[in-house]
Amino acid sequence: MASKNKQPTRAEVPAELTWNLSDLYESDEEMKAALRQTAQQAKQVQQLKGKLADNDGQNLLQALQQAKAINADLEQEYVYAMLRHDSDTTDAAATELMGVAEQTATTIDEQLSFLDPEIVALDGQQLQQWLNNNSELQEFRYALHQTRLQKGHVLSADQEKLLSSLGRSIDSPSDIFNTLNDADLKFGQVHNDQGELVELTDGNRGEFAQSKQRKVRKEAFLAYQKPYHELRNTFAATLNDFIDGENTLAKLRHYSSSRAAALSSNEIDERVYQNLIKTVNDHLDVAHRWYRIKQQALGLDDFYQYDVNVPLAKEAIKADYDQGKKLVLSALSVLGPKYEQALKHELTQRWVDVAENKGKRSGGYEVGIANVHPYVLLNWSDQLESTFTLAHESGHAMHSWFSQHAQPSEYAEAPIFLAEIASTFNENILTKFLLQKYEGQPDKQLYVLEQSINGFIGTIFRQTQFAEFEDQAYVTQQKGQRLTADYLDQLNQKLVQKYYGPTVKLAGTPTQSWAYVPHFYMHYYVYQYATSWAIATTLAEQVWEKQSGARDRYLDFLRAGGSASPLLTLKKVGIDVTKPDYLEDALAVMQKEEDQLEQLLKQ
């Protein structure tokens, strides 16, 4: 969407391609007024401090209901500030607003911090009796269960308040990384296929990576890495300090490791993480086969990292935003009229911020707001990859939308382990739709199959590689070793070489492929991309083939939100993630697609 020669300013982006934030608030001043009111309500809840065990469960119910309303309002206020900031991270007013929201959120966290310790301290038999006798309290049964799972890990009320007051400081490495990565980092100008000098950005670098001209993609590949290498020590310092903060919190809360702390809140057995790494490592030959196929098809004697993304098809499939919307809507109509209607609302009512502009946060994401509707951030280019990103983030948005309309606000957001299933499900469905749409057109089917296989590579293999990197970094830091740029480069280099295998020759600096990953600042997040892609592959197959009840089961999965443990929610749709079978099944699909692609190449 951006100019080929330069990025537009925020003011230059057409309104229809931007978020309609008036659905949240008409102005910054209105948001600030709402935020002040929410902060005042949080003060009032403190009147119940030390009294949750009194009044036969009524005090507990009152506290839970008030906290629910406060958290829902704060979510709306905070997200408004976040969306304003992420639209243009160089906007001083938006940055100031974000600071106000963060400070207020920290204060409210402090004021509500007495809740968890007191809930954990409640007598179990007494709590069960209250739940049995009070229908209004029943709504919070699972939320209470989740909180009481933390028994032994929740500190005293005063200690919890102290930790809450440190929230902004603990989050500061992530904030510094995002500011550096989104606002300050410049990649310079590179030559495009026509020999013109153009600005290299996060949004257009995919186009350069797919250039048929080797010198073009190599120049862009090295240019993108350059600023990360130049600032490698700064990126290492931010990552080290973030991991140090998470390890410290895990220790203070009496967890054996930061990984145990991260997984326990959603009742995810650590064997799920271990099985992922082992199973994917056992099948690295599937990824290595893909690189051999590409090298042979491209006719390259030496096959470098900057050659990996060159399409095998003679002509790329492109789609502008309007075309991408139509493709996504058509593909996902398989989920029925209710899903289709909600998706149309997203795509026509300015829930999506589309175009890349100066200062805009890179990448893409979705954020749900229980009181309003989801919002999606994109940085659109006309490569087919952007259409897949739209499908992906719309999967998140529809998950939020369906759960918001089926669950109380405290359960409206699905845990991350489930959320990524909804997004990658949509990618799988889009692949199947496009293969059907282009039946009898081998070159286009080749392009779609490659897009799908790249999804397996980027989501199962690459994210498992990141998960290995992340886990080893946490363990190393926990042992007292500082994560220097040299150490992180060495760790990364070994893993990159292992996952690429013998066919791919490494190029450039080892820094970029760890320094640029924003999800390393989300505490054991990345592994869930891999597990979710594998789960989604199975569910998409069932829905696309119209297996009996598959669509209804999937829609019920979306409606469940965060109302039960992820493992239980998945068992209801027939997936047992405590066993590696689902990973084996997904990788078998990838092998099948490699077979199909090789047949097309022979044609």
Contacts of 152 (CB under 8 A, 6+ apart): 254
Q: Are strands 375-377 and 365-367 parallel, antiparallel or unpaired?
A: antiparallel
> What is the amino acid identity at position 391?
A
Q: Are strands 303-304 and 504-505 parallel, antiparallel or unpaired?
A: parallel
Q: Is 446 helix (H, G, I), strand (E, B) or coil?
A: helix
Is the separation of the CB atoms in 521 and 174 below 8 Å?
yes
Q: Report the phi/psi class of residue 389: left, alpha or beta, with left for phi > 0 and alpha for psi in -120 to 50.
A: alpha
**Which CA distances in Å does 48 have to 70, 120, 144, 215, 524?**
15, 16, 17, 67, 35
Q: Can you read off the two tokens belonging to residue 568?
A: 């239980």
Q: Measure the CA–CA gap between 396 and 376, rounded to whole angstroms.
A: 9
Name which of 257, 241, 167, 169 is nearest 524 in CA terms: 257
Q: Measure the CA–CA gap between 549 and 543, rounded to whole angstroms.
A: 8
Question: For 57, what's the count of Cα atoms within 13 Å in the CB-facing half-sphere?
Answer: 19
Q: Can you read off the two tokens belonging to residue 78?
A: 């905070």
Q: Can you read off the two tokens belonging to residue 468?
A: 């290995």
What is the separation, in whole angstroms, between the first and last Cα of the chain? 35
Q: What are phi and psi of 5, to 5 degrees?
A: -95, -30
Per DSSP, 254 falls in state: T
What distance lies between CA 285 and its chain's CA centroid? Answer: 27
Which residues does residue 235 pair with via DSSP β-bridges, in sequence order? none
Q: Measure the CA–CA gap between 469 and 437, rounded to whole angstroms.
A: 39
Burial of 151 per CB tally in 10 Å (0-12, 13-18, 19+): exposed
Which residues does residue 312 pair with via DSSP β-bridges, in sequence order? none
Q: Report the phi/psi class of residue 508: left, alpha or beta, with left for phi > 0 and alpha for psi in -120 to 50.
A: left
Q: Measure the CA–CA gap between 305 and 380, rounded to whole angstroms.
A: 24
Active-site residue, selected from the candidate residues 110, 246, 393, 470 = 393
Q: Can you read off the two tokens belonging to residue 130?
A: 């209250």
> What is the amino acid identity at position 516?
Y
Active site residue 393: yes
Is the separation of the CB atoms in 259 and 474 below 8 Å?
yes
Contacts of 132 (CB under 8 A, 6+ apart): none
Contacts of 565 (CB under 8 A, 6+ apart): 266, 267
> How wide is the angle at C-alpha 40 spanned by C-alphas 36 and 46, nearest 5°?
150
Helical residues (DSSP H) of 320-414, grouped into ranges: 321-332, 337-348, 384-404
Is the separation of the CB atoms in 105 and 71 below 8 Å?
no
Q: Measure the CA–CA gap between 400 and 405, rounded to whole angstroms.
A: 9
Is the separation of the CB atoms in 181 and 519 below 8 Å?
no
Catalytic positions are: 393
